Amino acid sequence: MRIPAFPLARTVLASALLSAGLLGTACGGGDPVAVPEATPTSLSLARIGGYADASLTNPVGAAEITAFDAASKRLFVVNSVLATVDVLDLANPAAPVKLASIDISALGASVNSVAVSNGLVALAIEANPKTAPGVVAFYNASNLALLGQVTVGALPDMLTFTPDGQTVVVANEGEPANYAVAATATTPAIAADDPEGSISVISVTRTGSASTLAVTLSARTADFSAYNSQLAELRALGVRIYGPGATVAQDLEPEYVTISADGRTAYVTLQENNAIATVDIASATVTAIRPLGTKDHGVAGFGLDPSDEDGGTNTNSGTPAVQIGTWPVRGMYLPDAIASYSVGGQTYLITANEGDARADWPGLNEEVRIRAHCSAGLDPAVFAGATGLAADPLLNDSNLGRLRVTSLPNGNDTGKNAAGQCNKLHAFGARSFSIWATGGTGAMTRVYDSGDEFEQRTVALPNVLFNASHDANTLDGRSASKGPEPESVTTAKFGNKTYAFIGLERVGGLMVYDVTTPTAPSYVTYLNSRDATTGDRGPEGLVFVPAAQSPNGKPLLIVGNEVSGSTAVLQVNLAY
């Protein structure tokens, strides 16, 4: 049977697929027919180009979230320094050129996220003050015309299109301004400065061609008000709800969104709450909130380096050293970015377990160092070998004393017994990525965690300063905090293999894993272009460009590096 004639756009795509080996021709004729994509035997990354604004005195924040439009070959980069979105010509990926900037000053205070689908650009714009409702604005990728805008919840932090491009899902973080507003007779203290977190679901109807594109927009809100009466139950399950005086809806802070392959379900990280919300997109309803639990750093292969002063033995004034080991500490996953993929009809989620604390807020600071927090010692009934005394060797700075943990594991729980001894040591983040199997009722089951491999790999590789921060070249500098701090994640499929790319915010670089089998991923490679003085630092946003959409016909991974303010173009090289 003859295949119908391709319209122009499909003809271009078919040509690209033919060159990539994804289409063949029927025997004896010229009609394209689908052929299986080859499965690579190996994968490597190479930095082939990049862009940085040399005019900026302080570039921190000049390149954060990135999004690519294949038709126009344009890359859109969130620039928080100038409160704009930079538009780069990526026709030559080795030498991106800045074409223009989108100025959002008339719409709000700053841009937090950008997403692109078939020539339509969506921007998540924060209000001033951030506790007021934000805006999502839509632009034509080819001529940068503003096509429309809708009001969403407070602090829209991230947004993404569904696979069909007809819906945008927005994580409205609803972060408070402070926790110390004085109460009045009619207004609880928290209400004035802590808006509710929510998820906006925006329906997008398009008309016109690329140059005459128009959109009709309609926004609905999936909120958490139905869970306000379930505070005790959620806490008992392990969802962290601990803002002073906050309702459930106020305390939950949506951070990042991924959409299932069928476009029906959104999964949203609630980072500070150590949970994931499931959203039914058709009804714009939150259907489940699932806690993620904690990771036992006392298990072999799941350890950590907890100190930046561990060069001595049982001291409080040691020097930096690499000491990865098992310790009686639990890591709260607290993921930032999340990605999803499907295996055998089952949706799996990949989380980058960065960690985050409510620290230095007026009225709330949960982040404490173990030695200061546990001044009455460790509870011997919980910690094997603990003396129960302030002089316990475990509390020395060369051991656990320097590690930052929460003083509020959940609710009003301070992590201490009646004698004031610590009975819980919960650190921020898990220094890893995890894979979670989803269930029909919103269930989340962890099927894999990378353990301490990020720390083990970075210490073993040359030219990388172990647990250095993104803004300082100090060995061991982040060990007492969140270590390498995995923040971003995206996936790509080649043939029968699926790969995960994970950005390490602090030490920098991209980890790559083969996640084809969700229960048994394998390490593939690690690329870090940073050295002692230059290079890309603080990978924040990742976008994968398939070969069929790539300007040079090769798959690309584009990275927005927050601290160096540089946008890096990485080529994904495959061997067969």
Give me the DSSP letters along 383-413.
STT--SSTT-GGGSTTTTTT-EEES-SBTTB
Is there a contact between 483 and 476 (Cβ–Cβ < 8 Å)?
Answer: no
One-letter identity of residue 33: V
The 10 Å Cβ neighbour count of residue 183 is 12
Q: Residue with structure tokens 């925006």? A: 202
Q: 345 and 215, same structural domain?
A: yes
| Edge-to-edge strand ranges of the sheet holding 444-449 | 338-343, 346-352, 433-438, 444-449
Q: 538 and 414, same structural domain?
A: no
Is residue 46 in a domain?
A: yes
Across 188-198, b (16+ Cβ under 10 Å) vs e yields ebbbbbbbbbb
Q: 412 and 454, same structural domain?
A: no
Domain end point (choices 391, 425, 459): 425
Which helix (DSSP H) or strand (DSSP E) does residue 11 occupy? helix 8-20
Q: What are phi and psi of 185, to 5 degrees?
A: -65, -25
The helix/strand/coil state of 261 is coil
**For residue 262, how far is the Cα from the chain centroid?**
21
Domain end point (choices 404, 425, 446): 425
Q: 287 and 168, same structural domain?
A: yes
156 vs 221: CA distance, rounded Å: 12
Is there a contact between 173 and 255 (Cβ–Cβ < 8 Å)?
Answer: yes
Q: 381 and 343, same structural domain?
A: no
468 vs 530: CA distance, rounded Å: 11
Q: 193 and 144, same structural domain?
A: yes
pLDDT at 26: 45
pLDDT at 13: 43
| Sign of the four-CA dihedral 233, 158, 360, 401 | positive
Q: 523 and 384, same structural domain?
A: no
Domain end point (choices 376, 403, 425): 425
Is residue 198 in a domain?
A: yes
339 vs 488: CA distance, rounded Å: 9
The helix/strand/coil state of 4 is coil
32 vs 499: CA distance, rounded Å: 28
pLDDT at 18: 39
Is residue 55 in a domain?
A: yes
498 vs 518: CA distance, rounded Å: 10
Is there a contact between 169 and 203 (Cβ–Cβ < 8 Å)?
Answer: no
Is there a contact between 427 and 404 (Cβ–Cβ < 8 Å)?
Answer: yes
Q: Which domain holds residue 418?
A: 306-322+358-425
Is residue 27 in a domain?
A: no
pLDDT at 34: 65
Is residue 24 in a domain?
A: no
Whole-model pTM? 0.92
Q: 378 and 271, same structural domain?
A: no
Q: How long is the chain? A: 576
Q: What are phi and psi of 494, to 5 degrees?
A: -130, 115
- Partners of 352 in the beta sheet? 433
pLDDT at 432: 99
54 vs 287: CA distance, rounded Å: 47
Q: 418 and 280, same structural domain?
A: no
Q: 514 and 390, same structural domain?
A: no
Q: What are phi and psi of 228, to 5 degrees?
A: -60, -30
pLDDT at 179: 80
Q: What are phi and psi of 87, to 5 degrees?
A: -110, 115
359 vs 375: CA distance, rounded Å: 20
pLDDT at 23: 42
Helix, strand, coil % (nearest 5) of the chain? 10, 40, 50
Is residue 12 in a domain?
A: no
Is there a contact between 288 and 252 (Cβ–Cβ < 8 Å)?
Answer: no
Q: 414 and 447, same structural domain?
A: no
172 vs 153: CA distance, rounded Å: 5
Is there a contact between 268 and 199 (Cβ–Cβ < 8 Å)?
Answer: yes
Q: Nearest-5° angle of CA 96, CA 102, CA 340?
A: 70
Q: What is the DSSP letter of 304?
A: B
42 vs 39: CA distance, rounded Å: 9
Across 413-427, b (16+ Cβ under 10 Å) vs e yields bbbbbeeebbbbbbb
- CA-to-CA dists, residue 535 to 250, 422, 541, angstroms: 40, 42, 16
Total count of domains within the chain: 2
Is residue 299 in a domain?
A: no
- Partners of 304 in the beta sheet? 325
Residues 6+ apart with CB under 8 A from 353: 295, 331, 333, 334, 335, 429, 430, 431, 432, 433, 434, 486
Residues 6+ apart with CB under 8 A from 106: none
Q: 494 and 394, same structural domain?
A: no
**Ramachandran category for residue 284: left, alpha or beta (phi over 0 → left; psi -120 to 50 → alpha):** left
Is residue 23 in a domain?
A: no
pLDDT at 411: 86
Please give the span between the terminal C-alpha atoms of the chain, in angstroms, as a whole number. 33
Q: Provide the Cα torsion 318, 324, 325, 327; round to 10°.
A: 60
User: Residues of the chain whose pLDDT is less than 70?
Assistant: 1-34, 180-192, 532-533
pLDDT at 20: 44
CATH number (domain holding residue 526):
2.130.10.10
Is there a contact between 118 and 68 (Cβ–Cβ < 8 Å)?
Answer: no
